[in-house]
């Protein structure tokens, strides 16, 4: 068990789009043990308003020293985060949960939608580092080109040679769903492992295509969560068979094999 | 660490300090080991255990509210057998008192739990959750009826030699009346409050935010209500009272002790700050030293009225 509580100093706060931010923090304990797909719980204020920590997936770690988080301002907690500046400190707990498992996988495809792209960047870097030769196709989707911001370029800059994009408004790449890109760009002769994170309907479409093709699929899920350490049991999701014990996103996930969970 | 004397006694048991963790907010202890030195705590109250495993309610189960949260977990737990075989071995080694919270939907179930846990090594006391519906009495919660509250207390006490603490529901008209009933039933301690029944609605979808529609409110938002009820109960009974409800800081804990609580349980604060319980133990130690008290017992019931 390597999870810990860390008082992390903000190094950098970047505004990527009007409401998407990227926060870089010094958190060596968490950075040195985090795996792609894991998350941290961020205390956005010490004044208990909002009360609960916010779960955020790790966007990347830098040199076992820094943790980077990407978030969208959706409420009080994330608005407070967006107002924070370098030098200020945030209390983090993590790294939490189980990440992606790509041991022995050859052909890997990452499918991210909106903020779900956040953990996939960490994963892409890990694949480039460990898989020789890496075969990694990245498919990214968002409502608009503006919402994708610098992310497509970030993936290309680290050496992902094949990145395809989709936007709901046709402002960039394919006009339509990112899940459509699987059929367009993945050679069905390969045994792909697909890792996906994004809105539920998007992941559901990705899972359905993987099932048809017989490809392995790992999904990173998000739920309401109070503690992140399997004490509150608030993050329950139904298992594939619907009648079995609930799975808990914080402990059993947030990354699951697609076939473990129910796709309602 | 300070040398302050923080010891308190409940049901004949000496606790090294008055800070326990509330059931359902601290897992089975192990979940918090990366954050807290468990042996520094006065005790750990584990997640409520029923005779059979419970699956819990459908999600969504929690929602954040102003200064608090609503939960409708539905008492999900591993059940008695797995608790004994899988969770107790770890708890034996944590170096502090283990209080097992029990729940059931019939008198018989509570009795059996009391009896079975009596034979398990390493348990200091039982905490009886009486906020559950009595299935045989049309689903009315045991804790909302003085006669049923007394009966369930009596049933557990008759089947165990462990000290029995009864945890009260605040969703009643007269909390002191329920407290007197469980004291008459043989309880050696009373803990309160459990969560307050509440609700939240998503105005966009016009649907309840919890699948269960209603849920229990906890967190700092409920502290003044909890404090008032603890104060009322402490005056109504002779047995020790354990204060629960929104305790987040040392000052919160001191308020409950002054109101008459012999000990306190830290609940929702564990989610916000996993070190909260230990921080409060340390804070109470400093308070005793700074005020040159002989011990924390000097604070208990120390409220000054006019």
For chain B, the domains span 8-60+74-197+218-298
Confidence of residue A46 (pLDDT cuts 50, 70, 90): confident
**Arithmetic mean of pLDDT, A209-218:** 95
The tens digit of pLDDT for each residue in B19-60 reads 999 999 999 999 999 999 999 999 999 999 999 999 999 999
**In this model, does residue B138 exceed pLDDT 90?**
no
A36 within 8 A of A46, measured Cβ to Cβ: no
Chain A interface, Cβ < 8 Å to B = 1, 3-5, 43, 48-53, 91, 93, 223-227, 229-238, 245-246
Residue A44 sits at the vertex; the CA angle it makes with B64 and B270, to the nearest 5 degrees, is 60
The answer to whether the CB atoms of B71 and A234 lie below 8 A apart is yes
pLDDT score recorded for residue A135: 83
Q: How far is A195 from chain B (nearest CA, A)?
A: 24
- Sequence-distant contacts of A8-12: CB under 8 A, at least 24 apart: A8/A67, A8/A89, A8/A90, A8/A91, A8/A92, A9/A86, A9/A87, A9/A88, A9/A89, A10/A84, A10/A85, A10/A86, A10/A87, A10/A88, A10/A89, A10/A90, A11/A66, A11/A86, A12/A86
The answer to whether the CB atoms of B58 and A223 lie below 8 A apart is no
**In this model, does residue B255 exceed pLDDT 50?**
yes
Sequence-distant (6+) residues with CB within 8 A of B108 are none
What value does the mean pLDDT of chain A take?
94
pLDDT score recorded for residue B137: 76
pLDDT score recorded for residue B300: 98
Residues in A closer than 8 angstroms to B71, CB to CB, are: 226, 232, 234
**Arithmetic mean of pLDDT, B135-154:** 88
pLDDT score recorded for residue A133: 66
The answer to whether the CB atoms of A51 and B62 lie below 8 A apart is no
pLDDT score recorded for residue A47: 86
pLDDT score recorded for residue A172: 92
What value does the mean pLDDT of chain B take?
96
Task: Please give the positions of B annotated as active site.
Answer: 132
The tens digit of pLDDT for each residue in B288-297 reads 999 999 999 9
pLDDT score recorded for residue A215: 94
For the domain bounded by A107-215, which CATH number is listed? 3.40.50.80
d(CA B20, CA B14): 13
pLDDT score recorded for residue B238: 98
A44 within 8 A of A132, measured Cβ to Cβ: no
pLDDT score recorded for residue A54: 96
- What phi-psi label fits residue B289: left (phi over 0), alpha (psi between -120 and 50 degrees) or beta? alpha
pLDDT score recorded for residue B301: 97
A152 within 8 A of A140, measured Cβ to Cβ: yes
CATH value of A4-96 in 2.170.190.11, 3.40.50.450, 2.60.120.10, 2.40.30.10: 2.40.30.10
**Arithmetic mean of pLDDT, B81-103:** 97
CATH value of A221-264 in 2.70.240.10, 3.40.50.720, 3.40.50.150, 2.10.240.10: 2.10.240.10
**In this model, does residue A45 exceed pLDDT 70?**
yes
Using a pLDDT cut of 90, give the percent of chain B over it: 95
Q: Scanning every residue of chain A, which has its alpha carbon at the shortest distance from the alpha carbon of B26?
A: A231
For the domain bounded by B8-60+74-197+218-298, which CATH number is listed? 3.20.20.70
Confidence of residue A1 (pLDDT cuts 50, 70, 90): low
Domain ranges of chain A: 4-96, 107-215, 221-264
Indicate if the alpha-carbon torsion angle B271, B275, B280, B283 is positive or negative. Answer: negative
The tens digit of pLDDT for each residue in B59-72 reads 999 999 999 999 99
The tens digit of pLDDT for each residue in B154-174 reads 999 999 999 999 999 999 999
**In this model, does residue A19 exceed pLDDT 50?**
yes
pLDDT score recorded for residue B232: 98
Residues in B closer than 8 angstroms to A48, CB to CB, are: 67, 219-220, 248, 272
**In this model, does residue B118 exceed pLDDT 90?**
yes
Confidence of residue B1 (pLDDT cuts 50, 70, 90): very low
């Amino acid at each position: 068990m390597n999870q810990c509580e860390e008082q992390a100093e903000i190094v950098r706060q970047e505004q990527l789009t009007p409401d998407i931010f990227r926060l870089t923090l010094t958190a060596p304990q968490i950075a040195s043990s985090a795996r792609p797909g894991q998350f941290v719980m961020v205390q956005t204020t010490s004044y208990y308003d909002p009360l609960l920590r916010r779960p955020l997936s790790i966007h990347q770690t830098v040199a076992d020293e820094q943790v980077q988080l990407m978030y969208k301002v959706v409420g009080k907690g994330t608005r407070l985060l967006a107002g924070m500046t370098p030098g200020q400190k945030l209390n983090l707990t993590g790294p939490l949960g189980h990440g992606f498992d790509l041991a022995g996988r050859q052909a890997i495809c990452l499918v991210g939608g909106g903020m779900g792209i956040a953990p996939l960047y960490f994963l892409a870097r890990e694949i480039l580092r460990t898989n020789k030769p890496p075969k990694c196709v990245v498919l990214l989707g968002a409502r608009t080109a503006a919402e994708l911001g610098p992310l497509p370029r970030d993936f290309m800059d680290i050496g992902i040679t094949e990145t395809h994009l989709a936007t709901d408004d046709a402002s960039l790449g394919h006009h339509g769903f990112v899940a459509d890109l699987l059929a367009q760009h993945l050679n069905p002769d390969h045994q792909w492992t697909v890792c996906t994170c994004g809105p539920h309907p998007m992941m559901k479409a990705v899972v359905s295509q993987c099932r048809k093709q017989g490809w392995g699929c790992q999904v990173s899920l998000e739920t309401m969560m109070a503690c992140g350490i399997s004490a509150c049991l608030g993050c329950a999701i139904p298992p594939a068979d619907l009648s079995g014990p609930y799975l808990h996103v914080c402990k059993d996930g947030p990354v699951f094999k697609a076939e473990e969970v129910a796709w309602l | 660490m300070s040398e302050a004397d923080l010891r308190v006694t409940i049901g004949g048991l000496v606790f090294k300090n008055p800070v326990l963790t509330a059931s359902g907010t601290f897992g089975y202890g192990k979940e918090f080991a990366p954050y807290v030195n468990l042996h520094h705590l006065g005790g750990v109250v584990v997640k409520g255990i029923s005779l059979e495993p419970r699956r819990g309610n459908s999600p969504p189960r929690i929602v954040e509210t102003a200064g608090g949260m609503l939960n409708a977990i539905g008492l999900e737990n591993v059940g008695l057998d797995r608790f004994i075989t899988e969770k107790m071995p770890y708890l034996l080694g944590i170096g502090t008192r283990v209080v097992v919270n029990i729940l059931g939907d019939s008198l018989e179930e509570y009795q059996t739990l009391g009896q079975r846990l009596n034979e398990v090594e390493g348990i200091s006391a039982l905490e009886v959750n009486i906020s559950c519906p009595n299935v045989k009495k049309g689903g009315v919660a045991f804790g909302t009826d003085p006669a049923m509250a007394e009966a369930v207390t009596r049933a557990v006490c008759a089947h165990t030699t462990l000290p029995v603490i009864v945890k009260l529901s605040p969703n009643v008209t007269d909390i002191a009346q329920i407290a007197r009933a469980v004291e008459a039933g043989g309880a050696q301690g009373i803990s309160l409050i459990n969560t307050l029944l509440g609700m939240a609605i998503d105005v966009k979808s016009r649907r309840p935010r919890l699948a269960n529609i209603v849920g229990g409110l906890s967190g700092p938002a409920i502290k003044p209500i909890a404090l008032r009820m603890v104060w009322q109960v402490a005056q109504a009974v002779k047995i020790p009272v354990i204060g629960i409800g929104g305790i987040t800081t040392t000052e919160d804990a001191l308020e409950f002790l002054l109101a008459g609580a012999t000990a306190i349980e830290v609940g929702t604060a564990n989610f916000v700050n996993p070190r909260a319980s230990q921080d409060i133990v340390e804070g109470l130690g400093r308070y005793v030293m700074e005020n040159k008290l002989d011990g924390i017992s000097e604070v208990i019931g120390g409220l000054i009225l006019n």
